[in-house]
Chains A and B, each alone.
Chain A
Amino acid sequence: MPKKEYDSFVDNPDALADGEIALAIRELTPDNRKKKYLTRYAKCIICHDPKKMPDGDVLWLRWQRGRQYPKPFAIKIVEELGEFLPKQVRYTA
């Protein structure tokens, strides 16, 4: 079964530590193509090296102005946090 792919906008992909984090994620490979790019909030475990999390899905990261980080991370969604912005995910731009 092909891995699912997600992306998320962050201040600095290089500064993200492996482990648990709350992210606003967009689904890039939904079963229904019309749902591509919709956003939800989730608690996730991420790893900068996909080989170290082989059962994880694919996470692409983008800087806040849309440029994509060249290498994918691995991601596992631990908990859905809903459709609105949890306070802990607020960015400082």
Chain B
Amino acid sequence: MAFKDNREFVAALEKAGEAIQIEQEVDWDLEAGAIVRRVCETGAPAPFFQKIKDYPGHRMLGAMCSSFKRLAIALGLRADIPIREAADEFYRRRQKRIKPVIVKDAPCQQNMVTGKDVDLTMFPAPMVHDGDGGRYLCTWHLVITKEPNSDWVNWGMYRQMLHNERLLGTLALPNSDLGKMLAKYEAKEEKIPFATAIGADPLCAAAGCLSVGVGVSEVEVAGGLRQEPVELVKCKTVDLEVPAHAEIILEGHVLPGVRVDEGPFGEYTGFRTSPRYPRPVFQVECITWRDNPILTMSNMGVPIADGNIIVSGLGTPALIRGLLESSGIPITGVYVPPEGCGFIVIVATKKPYNNIAAHIASVISAQPFLQASVSQIIVVDDTVDPYNMSEVIHAMATKLHPLKGTFTFPCMGWPLAPYLSMAERMQFRGGKIVYDCTWPLEWDPETEKPVKSSFRGIYPEEVQKKVLDNWQKYGFK
């Protein structure tokens, strides 16, 4: 059974020692953010704040998916499951689509304000990092919009900053699903209905982080991840549906042709890269919320935070695995280490032909999100476990020819990539480097190909067996 909401999820995290209730009052102005940041950097349990300064009755939950353990719990898997096994299960579920069901009554609509009564400062939106452009009410949430003249409803996690009591500034890159939708509406000078769901269940939030493709509704992907349908409820003022068990719902319209200053914000790359800049405006016209709402906060910064785990750790590998397998490439594993911010991809493969690294790179580059977001592709052979960084670094050190094994090519760039110049970010210019850490096929196995000098690789089987059988007798434990 999937978790119905974050309340059930945080109870499970607490039971597993992966979350703690904090009774001491904390300040929404930097203190809560600093605590969550330190949690991300130390691996401490997710903080569930019970008392927020200026906001009696409100609670806040941070870093709820900032480790593989917590994401495994969200998926209903055992907390200590190896990453490879969790990735296999995530990949299997990600392929499934389960349509949502509509319910009439929903906890997320227990309270409501509309019109002039809307005041976004009624919630303890945190000032997440010192120097941010404002208070970010939405750092772990779903922005829900509908493609014009289509049934496609998109869920995405686009940060939203308080501009004033009823306006939110949002970063929606023009190559994102939301950015493309906004462009279509703006061309017709039409207001864009939106809903933002804060604090939906953890797998709905995870689905909102993923790149699932144009025309695919994330709510059906969320159903697949949950292995049961998401319950949705119709919004009060716009023609959209939202997760019924979310904590806070914002409804309104994006104003065409209007911009406000948004950012900067400490981003998932560990840097504040994009500047304060004129960005789209979300006008909130209705707010509904649960009694005693729990505001969710992700504190992006130096990895690892929630998004690094979901997007890099499981989401992007599943996307790449699907692309490579459907291209007939005999891969044996894909890993995107969360510490690499989604820029570094490791692919392990059998090597039936030379230059398979170029084939892999071209398949990855053909996917729009990966073309922009991935900058380094490391290809290792099937003797290397891509989840084991010791093996990957050893392969890079020993099998990568610095001249013949590397190549670069230009492609679309990622505006949030810290290594790009400001001009490159603004013009979406970037590139990729490929590291081919595999032996050339033409190397003679006896005279050219080096022999791996490891316990498993260099000793006769009977010696290995003898050593293993006598291991404890030698005095080892």
Query: Which residues of A approach B to under 8 Å, CB–CB?
Result: 9, 24, 26, 33-40, 62, 64-68, 83-85, 90-91, 93
B147 within 8 A of A: no
By a CB distance below 8 angstroms, the chain A residues around B272 are: 65-66
> Are the C-beta atoms of B29 and A36 separated by less than 8 Å?
yes
Provide the B105-122 mask, 1 if CB < 8 A to any CB of A, else 0: 000000000000000011
- Let me know if B127 is at the binding interface, CB within 8 A: yes
Does A34 contact B134, Cβ atoms closer than 8 Å? Answer: no
Q: Which 3 A-B pairs have the closest CB atoms?
A: A66-B131, A64-B275, A34-B121
- B261 / chain A contacts, CB cutoff of 8 Å: 9, 24, 39, 85, 91
Listed by A's residue number, 20 A-B pairs whose Cβ atoms lie within 8 Å are A9-B264, A24-B261, A26-B134, A35-B121, A35-B165, A37-B134, A39-B134, A39-B164, A62-B131, A64-B264, A65-B272, A65-B275, A83-B164, A83-B167, A84-B281, A85-B259, A85-B261, A85-B278, A90-B278, A93-B277
Residues of B within 8 A of A38 (CB): 121, 134, 162-165
In the complex, which residues 403-448 of chain B have their Cβ closer than 8 Å to any Cβ of chain A?
422, 426
- Report how many A-B pairs have Cβ atoms within 8 Å: 76
Q: Which residue of B lies closest to A39 (CB)?
A: B163
Q: Is the CB of A40 within 8 A of B422?
A: no
Is B258 in contact with A34, judged by CB distance below 8 angstroms?
A: no
B122 surroundings in chain A (CB, below 8 A): 34
Interface residues on chain B, size class: 20 to 34
Interface string of B147-188 (1 = CB under 8 A from A): 000000000000000111101000000000000000000000
> From residue 235 to 273 of chain B, which have CB atoms closer than 8 A to chain A?
258-261, 264, 272-273
The proximity string for B residues 267-289 relative to A, scoring 1 for CB distances below 8 Å and 0 otherwise, is 00000110111100100000000
Instruction: Determine which residue in B163, B264, B276 has the highest number of CB atoms from chain A within 10 A of its CB, and name it.
Output: B276
A66 near B281: Cβ-Cβ < 8 Å: no
Q: Which residues of A contact B129 (CB under 8 A)?
A: 66
* Bound complex: CA A84 to CA B131 (Å): 21
Report A16 CB to chain B, min CB distance, Å: 15
CA separation between A68 and B260, bound complex, in Å?
21
Query: Do A40 and B131 touch (CB < 8 A)?
Result: no
User: Which residues 1-52 of B sit at the A interface, judged by CB distance below 8 A?
Assistant: 29
Contact indicator B162/A37 (Cβ below 8 Å): yes
Besides A34-B121, A38-B162, 5 other CB < 8 A contacts? A9-B133, A35-B121, A39-B163, A66-B130, A93-B422
Query: Across the interface, do A91 and B54 meet the contact criterion of CB distance under 8 Å?
Result: no
B339 within 8 A of A: no
**Residue of B whose beta carbon sits closest to that of A62:** B131
Most buried by A among B121, B129, B422: B121
Q: Is B89 an interface residue (CB 8 A)?
A: no
State whether B131 touches A85 (Cβ < 8 A). Answer: no
CB distance from A17 to the nearest CB of B (A): 20
Q: How far is the CB of A27 from chain B (nearest CB, A)?
A: 10
Residues of chain A lying within 8 A (CB to CB) of residue B422: 93
Task: Report B302 CB to chain A, min CB distance, Å.
Answer: 16
Most chain A CB inside 10 Å of its own CB: which residue of B132, B134, B163, B422: B163
Chain B residues with Cβ below 8 Å from A39 are 134, 163-164, 260-261
A24: shortest Cβ distance to chain B, in Å?
5
Write the chain A residue with the least CB distance to B169. A39
* A59 vs chain B, min Cβ distance (A): 16
What residues on A are CB-neighbors of B164 within 8 Å? 38-40, 83
Q: Tell me whether A83 and B163 are in contact (CB under 8 A).
A: yes
Docked complex Cα distance between A1 and B135 (Å): 27
The closest CB in chain B to the CB of A32 belongs to B121
Given contacts A9-B276, A26-B134, A68-B131, contact A83 B260 (CB under 8 A): yes
B276 engages A37 (CB within 8 Å): no
**In whole angstroms, how far apart are the Cα atoms of A38 and B164 in the complex?**
5
